[in-house]
Chain A
Amino acid sequence: MKWLSILLGTLIVSSPLYAQNFDQKRAAMVQNQLRQRGIVQTNVLEAFQKVERHLFVPAAYTSMAYSDGPLPIGYGQTISQPYIVAYMTQLVNPKPNGKVLEIGTGSGYQAAILAEIVEKVYTIEIIPELGKSATDRLKELGYQNIEVITADGYHGLEEQAPFDAIVVTAAAEHIPPSLIQQLKEGGKMIIPVGSPFLVQTLMLVEKKAKKVTTKSLMPVRFVPFTRSQEK
């Protein structure tokens, strides 16, 4: 029975109709959730159009892969809402020749998006099970420019530093000093603060002239709220 259901599932997932359905959903996601909400960078939009998000979510949530919200991936972690991933990516302004460090690989989706844009992505996952599944998934999808490291991301990756951008997906009550040190002069770090199920605030950290400044952006849940909307 178990084998029958796996066989059936494989047949459905590999069918052209099924794939076409996801293509349509992905195109709708890019149009409705990203473009219409102010994601304008072409390279970011193209990356979202290309990366198959449904391959990064647990089987139970495949049908919801392109929905407008976060999804659980196990171990108390989530794959962020597409808009938040896009907004974060746009904020760090990744360049084709750039080198990006991600802390908190999770499903590997953010790393895949970044890998479509930049030259090299290093991503560190602390939970071994998540690290392994992300490694397998990204390898299977053919990403050559992503290196998944299963370790404590607290100390960053000194041997590959400095980085043009650092994306921290698992925020804590303090920002590890080593990450600030490994950020290139002029580099940007983005950190989501808050609960993925409730309200998140994005914080942008910039290193300029040997000084570090932060910018706390408006809360994010589907769209960034702005005071101007009150009027």
Chain B
Amino acid sequence: MIAFQLVLMQLISAVQWSYFAYMVISIALLGYGASGTLLAMIRSWIEKHGNKLLSPLMTISGLAMLGILWFSSVIFKRFDTYLIFVDTTHIVYLIIVCVSFFMPFFLGALAIGIIYINYVSRIGFLYFADLFGSGVGGIVLLALLWVCFPSQLPAVIAMLPLIAGMLIVPKKWFRILVFPSLILLLIPVYLVCVPIQLPVSEFKSISKTLNLPESEIYLERKSPYGHIQLVRSPVLRYAPGLSLSFEGEVPVVDMLFCNGNWVGPIIGLSQFDTTHFLDFTTHAMSYRISTPENVLILEGGTALFAGYALWKGSGNIVLVEENKEITDLLKNELASQSDSLLVHPYVRAVNLHARHFLLTDTNQYDLIILPEIESFGGTSGVNALKEQYVFTTDALADCWERLSGNGMIEVTAWLDYPARNPLRILASLVEMLEEKGVTSIESHLVALRSWGTISFLLKKTPFTQEEVFALHEFCSQMYFDAVLLPHTQVNDIEVFNHLEDTTFASSVRQIISAQREEFYAAYDFNIRPVRDMRPYFSQFLKLNRLHKLRDTLGNTNLPFFEVGYFIVLLTFIVVVVIAIVLIVLPLFFIRWQGHGKLFTLLYFSGIGIGFMFVEVVLIQQFILYFGHPVFAASAVLIALLLSSGIGSLRSSVLIKSYGQLWKLLSLIFLIVLLYAIILMPLLRITISLSFVWKILFSIVLIFPLAFFMGMPFPIGLRLLSEHNKVMIPWAWGINGCFSVISTVLAAIIAVEAGYFWVMLAACIAYSLAVAAVLIGRLVRV
């Protein structure tokens, strides 16, 4: 089920808008909760006849996995998440999609729930098997992503429940059913060979590109890093924020896409003789005043800026890009198009998470180029949940430490209105400078604005008169405006590129002044700098200002400015409402009055939320620790689930009485609290250890916490089985519902307050479970 969930998320994100994929999968996962609800309603029947259902349920679950894939291929021809804002019919389609995706999870969870109810005496082992299977599912999926296209994977995964269904057919039926079961197995085998292709939304960037004349995908790669596609067309060009004074020719380039989303152009050096089009962008200002020898490019993508640095004469260029497939392609199959850029002796590609690189690297650079913030035209907050660590004040401080004597940091943001990204990155740069003891901000920081971008250049030593003069000249040649540059008169801030919103220049002034705190508080959007424990999310809404924004922008328009976050909030509301219905519904069937309900609700919701919150934080922290997001996330998940599984297995031996349970939960509470405080510093101290030592250290850190976190669920079910058996399916449903709610809630807390608070929220969740035990309702049942 875990593997199926992960692959569905990737598949739908690739063909539709990823935030709706997030919504669809979150709602679908409530199938776990719904299974508990149904089981609670028919518990006594399940106890007698449930085992007979296991084989058919597993089989139907496998078929449902294939069925929804086929159904999606049909409905996605009519349904497009982008059109929800235009045509209300698509909201109906969205509901249909959610319901259909719900089915395989519901059926699979029904089978698991029946096993938990009917074999509760062996719950420790069963829960271990469940967690172990989830962990193995993650590893298997990771391995499959190297050899299969995403469209083939649902069929591969669907074989597992079909085989499981076949293996648990009652003996007396085995001979009759084995042949039809084998026939059924041929369906996924066929679909692996001839996979069902989901239609890609016509509004996805790859679809729009493929609509261009003579465009074609000429190269594809599959890996856990994503489905990479190279597109060529005689009309594709790329020159971000090009100056309006440019009169040359922008070259035709090939474009690289990952999971249907645009990544970057493939540009060689031989296309340029005396002029490079990037000379005509705000990116060029650092090269206008110097020729940096050592250049570091973070999140370098398709190496556009590495090529530019080489073209400008830099002799040592380090490109950091976590997607190894992209750099491998540039080194091999795309070497001719990129003029062998990444195998050039002056260029070194490093496949690491950019923030991890900054934490571990010790070299000095004359220029550090950060990735562009957002994209052309703004994204209306569609990247609200995409956390970026390279723009935190901590990351900028590390960049500062890596600068040589006259070193510079360059960061460019696309302009958005109302201004959010440019102001937050400016605030981050300014506060970092202050933390480093720089008092004269304006002599170290300049900013130039074109019609679409604003670039900030921060220098370790004050800009000289000659450099300031050169940048003024650069502005007048390129039709750029000096937003922050010594000797700029107030009237000269908007010479070429006027903004109807006249508050931008004054906002910039206030951020670099001593009164910035007042400005942060007064500004309608949250543009405060962020830290590693609360990384840079492209989410700027202040929830307490919604009423004011609504007055300004109008009720119906407001969500469109921060649409990604609104969808997350909407998902949370929908999931909570459905979960409440699913949790309350069984109460009509199992007496409203009676003992153990409060215990069951508090205990199983508490441990469900607590576990998921800790999991989310551990994954985030260890991604930074190891620097390889895909593998770090998988490794942490596996370590966590296996350690929890072992905890589950040992639970009956270690916790023998009800009196010991609150002590166990209190211990978990204390460990989570301790980790909230020491985890990040510990990981920072040990980040430079060798890979093997880091693995060992990670296991030492994860095992004790996860070992104990794996115990409360099986112990809780076992206690219910001894005292209040009727509650077992309800407990299963509650745990399922709150696990889904907590993943969405963790994202919201992380955005609003940071990961430290997610850990504290996990503590609160476990304290709920402690309270449930102390209330001691169960004893009376």
- Name A residues whose Cβ lies closer than 8 Å to a Cβ of B: 61, 64, 69-72, 74-76, 126-128, 152, 154, 171-177, 180-181, 193-195, 197-201, 203, 205, 211-219, 221-223, 225-227, 229-230
Contacts and interface: CB of A to CB of B under 8 A. Distances in A.
Nearest to B211: A75
A175 B378 CA distance: 16
A177 to B, nearest CB: 5
Nearest to A170: B208
Contacts of B593: none
B451 A177 contact: no
B246 interface: yes
B497 A197 contact: no
Given A154-B237, A198-B560, A193 B452 contact: yes
30 contacts: A71-B86, A72-B83, A74-B202, A75-B202, A126-B212, A127-B212, A128-B213, A152-B235, A154-B237, A172-B237, A173-B375, A175-B244, A177-B242, A177-B246, A180-B244, A193-B378, A193-B452, A198-B85, A198-B380, A201-B377, A213-B495, A216-B451, A216-B498, A216-B499, A219-B417, A222-B554, A227-B502, A227-B503, A229-B551, A230-B552
A211 B417 CA distance: 25
User: Which residue, A152, A222, A225, has most C-beta atoms of chain B within 10 A?
Assistant: A225
Contacts of A223: 554
A95 B379 CA distance: 35
Contact of A213 (B211, B496, B551): B496
Contacts of B87: 61, 64
Interface in B538-557: 548, 551-554, 556-557
Contact of B376 (A193, A222, A227): A193
Nearest to B239: A174
Nearest to A194: B377
A222 B451 contact: no
User: Which residue, A181, A193, A226, has most C-beta atoms of chain B within 10 A?
Assistant: A193
Contacts of B377: 171, 193-195, 200-201
B56 interface: no
A173 B85 CA distance: 24
B208 A222 contact: no
B305 interface: no
B540 to A, nearest CB: 13
Interface string B487-519: 000000001111111110000000000000000
A201 B211 contact: no
Contacts of A180: 244
B498 A214 contact: yes
Given A154-B237, A174-B242, A211-B479, A199 B213 contact: no
A229 B451 CA distance: 25
A159 B128 CA distance: 75
B462 interface: no
Q: Is the interface of A mostly helix, strand, loop or mixed?
A: mixed
B503 A211 contact: no
A72 B201 CA distance: 12
Interface in B219-238: 234-235, 237-238
B213 A126 contact: yes
Nearest to A195: B380
Nearest to A192: B377
A155 B197 CA distance: 36
Interface in B181-223: 202-204, 207-208, 211-213
User: Which residue, A127, A194, A217, has most C-beta atoms of chain B within 10 A?
Assistant: A194
Contact of B500 (A61, A64, A69, A216): A216
Nearest to A225: B553
B255 to A, nearest CB: 12
B208 A76 contact: yes
A177 B248 contact: yes
User: Which residue, B208, B234, B557, has most C-beta atoms of chain A within 10 A?
Assistant: B557
Interface in B125-140: none
A217 B501 CA distance: 7
A198 B563 contact: yes
B241 A174 contact: yes
B212 A201 contact: no
B267 to A, nearest CB: 14
Contacts of A214: 244, 451, 496-498
B504 to A, nearest CB: 9
A64 B241 CA distance: 36
B250 to A, nearest CB: 7
B245 interface: yes
A194 B380 CA distance: 8
A227 B82 contact: no
A173 B417 contact: no
B116 interface: no
Interface string B76-92: 00001011011100000
A230 B85 contact: no
